[in-house]
Chains A and B, each alone.
Chain A
Amino acid sequence: MSAMTHVGEDSPRASAASTSTGSDLGGKSSSRAIRDQAARIIMWTAFGIAVIPLIWILASTILKGGHMLASVDWWTLSQNGITARREGGGAAHAIQGTLMQGAVTALMSVPIGVLTAIYLVEYGRGRLAKVVSFMVDILTGVPSIVAALFIYALWVTTFGFQRVPFAVTLALVLLMIPTIVRSTEEMLKLVPNELREASYALGVPKWKTIVSIVLPTAFSGIVTGILLGLARVMGETAPLIILGPYAKSMASNLFGGLMGTLPTMINQDRTEALQPAIDRVWGAALTLILIVFVLNLLGRFLGRFSKVS
């Protein structure tokens, strides 16, 4: 068959409708058709390979940790007084710690992140805006361990404070700000200019236009960005290892004492060879994945209601 047939069958519109695979791989097909077919197979295989770890990790954690989550104790009890040898106890302390630190992190980074994005989109002009934008990019690339070391150098070495949960949240803020800035920026840019102009034409001052026209229009998109950022920092472990030692009992004081979290709970028991400890590690891993995935998918779901896209 000639190459002409290929053009027809392989044009995006035709394949979107029928998803038919390459047409004629009979004995007389040209090397071009073979190459085309090979490329198609490679792309499908690549996707298959990329999906394997995700499915494998999910399957492992569910199979090995699922039974832990089935008990009520897991969600209501802490590990207080329970050794690696003993079964029982729960992860309530770690879940509470992770959620609490996540919430406080969000509380600090959302205003800074959203305001920075507003600056970049609505106000930023000239040199400073370029510098801010560049620095946000650099912050995006700062490894979590470096963020943790910085907070350690500031909080512990310079100020002489103890390693407390609040220091962890400071390090997480550093990691969450760029995610929020970037996603908010993107959403603000999508708000049609006509809305702003209409508001200006009615004599509404700029700040009021931003607060009551621009932000509400972009709201659900901004929330999506925040949830995705939150999902990212909740799974971070490096700052916890440097700044937030693990504790087995319930804790709610951010400024004193130790606080257990899911990542440090995994880290605590991961080297144990005893079955109860291994079960707990898988249980904590599954709980952490669940929290992160729920936040993630919730964010995406909310994004669907965005007024701008």
Chain B
Amino acid sequence: MSTSITGRSLVDDLPDPDDHGHPHEGDRAGTGRWGDRLFGGAAKGSGIFVVLLVSLVGFFLVIQAVPSLMNNNANFLTSTEWIPSGSNPRFGIAALLWATVITSVIAMAIAVPLGVAVALFITEYAPTWLSKPAAVIIDLLAAVPSIVFGFWGLSVAGQYFEPVKAFMAEYLGWIPFFADAGPSAKSTLAFAGIILAFMILPIITAISREVFNQVPTAHKEGALALGATRWEMIRTAVLPFGKPGVISGAMLGLGRALGETLAVMILLSALNPNAPWSFSIFNGGETFASKIALNAGEFDSPQKTGAYIAAGLVLFILTFVVNSIARVVINRRKAFSE
């Protein structure tokens, strides 16, 4: 049964233990009559439509971004300025890229270990009565709308991060990374990363769980029979088997974190354009997605709109690459285990 609300079904990609699920029979059952041609054509047409759709997304973003990029007087990749309109448009994505990557890295650093641990809890540790409800509860976390996460983070949870930030800034502040850069704790990159972690946790857990469930019982019982404790059994049998699944789950989570919009937009405080550059995670900032969403009301000239679409294009390429890696990892594993 599909209980994944994350839109992924890795079960397809994994070797099928029961060896059913190859419905590719009946190739010649198509009669060539109008019914078959019509239905088969519609199915194929939908498939082609999806391919076209993704190509069109890339195509349209490029078409609309290029004119703005041509007028850009700053280096698009390395500049931290963002003045997309006027006679001397200067805009670059360096600051956006930094904020996007650092919030995602923080989110991953928390969500991957936590997500894997939760998946192990559900598959190996939870008593049978708890295992299913626990999985549903984690999936429901993915159903909480992004905007609710953001608003809740800002108005309820954020204040409890203040002491953490104060503590870290005081004792680790000599590292530029942890220096206190001004904004209140709930509006920092660090806190946005933490909230993101909980938003991507369900997808990492869901995929790790699916893979851990596929670990052959013989492997596990073998480890136990050799005298391994439960934890040793997990370390020697479950984790090595599930590693590719965990990696691709993490990559999909990363893809989500990179593109997450509303929560980040609500939480992060935008920086003063003249503020000095800072590497601190206790600083404000804007990610690709939050910058675009925050300025949606200002898409008035093609030049300006193009600049934001260019930023969106970079985000699209980033997520495309990350998701493709996830896909390749899963495929490699499939080739390996068959």
Contact status A207-B39, CB under 8 Å:
yes
**Residue contact B229 to A6, C-beta cutoff 8 Å:** yes
Smallest CB gap from B113: residue in A: A46
Whether A132 and B25, one on each chain, are in contact in the complex, defined by CB atoms closer than 8 angstroms, is no
With contacts A40-B231, A119-B44, A128-B47 known, is A138 near B54, CB below 8 A? Answer: yes
Check if A103 is an interface residue, CB within 8 A of chain B.
Answer: no
Residue A279 CB within 8 A of the other chain: no
Q: Is the CB of B121 within 8 A of A43?
A: yes
How many Å from the CB of B134 to the closest CB on chain A?
Answer: 6
The answer to whether A228 and B57 have CB atoms under 8 Å apart is no
Give the complex CA separation of A146 and B312 in angstroms: 6
The reply to whether B145 and A206 contact each other, CB–CB distance below 8 Å, is no
Given A115-B43, A242-B296; A293-B143 close (CB under 8 Å): yes
B43 near A205: Cβ-Cβ < 8 Å: no
Interface residues of A in 151-177 (CB under 8 A from B): 152-154, 156-158, 174, 177
B137 contacts chain A at the CB level, 8 A cutoff: yes
A97 within 8 A of B: no
A181 nearest CB neighbor, chain B only? B50
State which of B30, B141, B262, B288 has its C-beta within 8 Å of the C-beta of A53: B141
Do the beta carbons of A192 and B20 come within 8 Å of each other?
Answer: yes
Indicate if A36 sits at the interface (CB-CB under 8 A): yes
Q: Give A268-309 as 1s and 0s: 1 = Cβ < 8 Å from B's Cβ atoms.
A: 001000000000010001001100110010001001101001
Q: What sequence of 0s and 1s flags, for each residue 122-134 of chain A, a beta carbon within 8 Å of any chain B beta carbon?
A: 1111001101101
In the complex the two chains form, what is the Cα distance from A165 to B23 in whole Å? 40
The answer to whether B320 touches A266 (Cβ under 8 A) is: no
Q: Is the CB of B36 within 8 A of A146?
A: no
- Chain B contact residues, majority secondary structure: helix
CB-CB under 8 A from A142, the residues of chain B are 54, 57, 259, 316, 319
A39 touches B234 (CB 8 A): yes
Which among A181, A207, A237 is the interface contact of B146 at CB below 8 angstroms?
A237
**Are A193 and B25 in contact, CB atoms less than 8 angstroms apart?**
yes
Contacts of A7 in B (CB 8 A): 224-225, 227-228
Task: Give the distance to chain B from A296, nearest Cβ to Cβ, in Å.
Answer: 5
B60 to A154, Cβ gap below 8 A? yes
The interface residues of chain B lying within 8 Å CB-to-CB of A136 are: 50
Q: Are A205 and B29 in contact (CB under 8 A)?
A: yes
Contact between chains at A186 and B12 (CB < 8 Å): yes
Judge whether B220 is part of the interface by a CB distance below 8 angstroms. yes
Q: Which of A46-78 contact B (CB under 8 A)?
A: 46-47, 49-51, 53-54, 56-57, 60-61
Are A10 and B224 interface neighbours, CB within 8 A? yes
Q: Mark B138-182, 1 if CB is under 8 A from A, else 0.
A: 111101111111011000110000000000000000000000000
B68 shortest CB reach to chain A, Å: 12
Task: Find out whether the CB atom of B230 lies under 8 angstroms from the CB atom of A39.
Answer: yes
Q: How far is the CA of A150 from the CA of B181 in the complex (A)?
A: 35
Q: In the docked arrangement, what's the CA distance between A285 and B8, Å?
A: 27
Q: Are the CB atoms of B5 and A149 closer together than 8 Å?
A: no
Q: Which of B125, B127, B228, B296 contacts A43 (CB 8 A)?
A: B125
Residues of B that sit less than 8 Å from A by CB: 1-5, 7-9, 11-12, 20-27, 29-31, 33, 35-36, 38-40, 42-51, 53-54, 56-57, 60-61, 63-64, 113-115, 117-118, 120-122, 124-128, 134, 136-141, 143-149, 151-152, 156-157, 198, 201, 205, 220-221, 224-225, 227-234, 252, 255-256, 258-262, 266, 288-289, 292-293, 296, 299, 302, 305, 308-309, 312, 315-316, 319-320, 322-324, 326-327
State the A residues within 8 Å of B (CB): 3-4, 6-7, 10-12, 15-16, 19, 22, 32-33, 35-36, 38-40, 42-44, 46-47, 49-51, 53-54, 56-57, 60-61, 111-113, 115-116, 118-125, 128-129, 131-132, 134-147, 149-150, 152-154, 156-158, 174, 177-179, 181-183, 185-193, 196-197, 200, 205-211, 214, 221, 224-225, 228-229, 231-232, 234-238, 241-242, 263, 266-267, 270, 281, 285, 288-289, 292-293, 296, 300, 303-304, 306, 309
